[in-house]
Amino acid sequence: MALTDSTTGYAGTSVRAGHFFDTVRARISQELAYRATLNELRNLSQRELADMGIEAGSLKYVARKAHGLV
C-alpha cells in the first residue's frame, strides 16, 4: 500500500513542482538581468569600456560573470 499526501494525491508532487517552477523563475530572472547588463555594456563607447578594463570581445563574458552564469 502506497502512502499519499491528501493535498497532492502523490507524496511530494506539489513540493517538487513548486521547486521546479521556483528554479525556472529564478533562471528567467537571471537571464533577463544578464540581457539588460549586456545591452548596457554594448551602449558604452570603446573609451568607456577601456576605462573599466573591459575589451569589446569580452562583453558577454563580463555580463554573464556579473550575474553568476559563469
Q: What is the pTM of this model?
A: 0.72
pLDDT at position 18 is 85
Give the pLDDT means over successive 10-residue stretches in the chain (70 positions).
54 77 94 97 97 96 93
Helices (H), 1-70: 13-42, 46-52, 59-66
Q: What is the pLDDT of residue 69?
A: 84
DSSP annotation of 8: T
What does the pLDDT read at residue 4?
Answer: 54
For position 8, what pLDDT does the model report? Answer: 54
Cβ-Cβ contacts under 8 Å for 59 (sequence gap 6 or more): 38, 41, 42, 49
